[in-house]
Amino acid sequence: MKVVIVGGVAGGATAAARVRRLDEHAQIVVFERSGFISYANCGLPYYIGGVIEDPEELTLQTPESFYERFRIQMKVHHEVVSVHPDRKTVLVKNLKTGEAFEESYDKLLLSPGAKPVRPDLPGMDTDKLLTLRTVEDTFKIKSFIDQNKPKSAVIVGGGFIGLEVAENLREIGMDVTIVQRPKQLMNPFDADMAAFIHAEVRKHGVKLVLGSRVEGFEEKDDGIDVLLQDSPSLHADMVVLAIGVQPEAELAERAGLALGRKGSILVNDRMETSVPDIFAVGDAVQVKHYVTGEDALIALAGPANKQGRIAADNICGGDSRYQGSQGSSVIKVFDMTAAVTGINETNAGKAGLDVDTVILSPMSHAGYYPGGKLMTMKVVFEKKTYRLLGAQIVGYEGVDKRIDVLATAIHTGLKATDLKDLDLAYAPPYSSAKDPVNMAGFMIDNISKGLKQWHLADADKLPRDGSVILLDTRTTAEFSRGHMEGFQNIPVDELRDRVGELEAEKPVYVICQSGLRSYIAVRILEGYGFEAYNFSGGFRLYDAVMNDRALIEAAHGCGMDRQK
């Protein structure tokens, strides 16, 4: 059996090695357009920032090491320019010599990946505008910095790549501004959770221009102007374009393969395309979202590697199935870690799901053990069924651990209420006897048994005419430093003695700093016959979101994010 693989990075390299492990005698040829195989896409920004110093560390394998270990021909600087399913051949061009030749196959695997989105805007041809996708792109950016010593950069796009590049450029001392058309960074997160990411980015000196559309670029004064719609232009020494990626599926389209969303390659759960003996994996393919079941494009390394293994199994006569992509991901944001899995509240609403959320701010480990730090966790679940749909966490320690537990819970079909029953490891330096994941489960279990909540979206809708009681149960000192309009202050520890100050026939909307004291207050009030509602997330969440919104609005139209 002869297997030809187009693309030698995550999915392609994984598939090649798996085919070899399953079939010692298969002939395997991999064509990779760039000069590198099996490289760490996710590590590329960290070479620019000097965190990864040796460029060889960016490549997990070389063509030589791959051949030595697996006897697989890895042909770099070779581009497959067409596929001919009728005669089971591909036309290949040697990019160094210009030579073109045909290569036959019994099984063909397409793993072309995705390419950076490059909109049709004026000034896109300037050499001061760069993108980051391949090792060569990384070297180009690093060389530009080394040769030109730029002092400022504008990053267009606030997703994973944009945020990581911004951090690394900032770490080497550059003045950095991120421009993003939506009014938040990191769209997998809801806006309330993104507010914490914004605060961390601003704290490290990165300026944010959110809610602004880029209309073009113009070289000026030995630098480049980023032209914004309805706002003054931004001037910088360089620009990195990171507004997303799109499937690189032109090869499949020309070969007559069926396409999916945004021109992606359509595959079934065996990673088979519409043409017999042709498989496809990675960022170029359409998948099913594991939570919603809807068609999706999820460009992440984990799914690509799993798909490569599954395709290889099926190429070798097996029957492996891809169950869908869940979108689990994590990112370092300066000192902070932010992670997400499943779907957020915003996208759940767009999918027509009736959902609720809990937001909590637990410590990363036992409070009495030194060094614990707060994290903020948001868990999304379906109202009637309590099906667990997604989670987002931002914090400093233990975030990755908790998101992986929640991702596993979603994958195995646990209900949100089941989180309370998970038997998770505990020692004071690492967790609490009631782990944050368990705490989320306790909160959702309380809701399932009748506990009432109110949310950030309700804050402006609450009547201030006296028809309801608005109660802040923090200490007097906390209340004096800031509170919601119209709220009165009775500290939770005084509530039993002062409950007579409240009119029993009126519903009570309660808030505290994080949601814990207000929960205790709600239970006290319920014991006295009140109808009481607990604010999800606490004043800490409210304050973070309100400050963030004020900064975004102040920056909009000014061309820069003014610090408070």
Q: Which residues are catalytic?
A: 42
Is residue 377 within 8 Å of residue 402, measured between CB atoms?
Answer: yes
Asked if 272 and 259 count as a contact pair (C-beta separation under 8 A), the reply is no
For the CA atoms of 324, 341, 195, 476, the dihedral, rounded to the nearest 10 degrees, stands at: 150
CA distance 279 to 458: 49
Give the helix/strand (H/E) hosting 533: strand 532-535
176: left (phi over 0), alpha (psi -120 to 50) or beta: beta
Angle between helices 538-555 and 191-203 (to 10 degrees): 70
DSSP state of 425: -
Here the tokens at position 181 are: 């058309």
- Please calculate the CA angle 144-197-213 and round it to the nearest 5 degrees: 60
- The overall longest dimension of the chain from CA atoms, in Å, is 89
Query: What is residue 46's three-state secondary structure?
Result: helix
Q: Would you say 109 and 4 are in contact if contact means Cβ atoms under 8 Å apart?
A: yes
Which tokens in the block code for residue 327?
């979108």
Local structure of 259: helix, strand or coil: strand
DSSP letters for 53-122: --GGGGBS--HHHHHHHH--EEEETEEEEEEETTTTEEEEEETTT--EEEEE-SEEEE---EEE-----T
Interatomic CA distance for residues 237 and 149, integer angstroms: 9
Which is nearest to 330 in space by CA: 433, 438, 188, 213? 188
Strands (DSSP E) found in 111-174: 114-116, 129-131, 152-156
Q: In what order do the strands lie in the sheet with 452-454?
A: 452-454, 532-535, 508-511, 469-472, 488-489
Tell me if residue 449 falls in helix, strand or coil. coil
Q: 3-class DSSP state for residue 520?
A: helix
CB 493 within 8 A of CB 518: no
Angle, vertex CA 259, rays to CA 254 and CA 265, nearest 5? 90
251 contacts 6 by C-beta, under 8 angstroms: yes
CA gap 207, 198 in Å, rounded: 9
Structure tokens at 115: 């390419």
Which tokens in the block code for residue 532? 């009481």
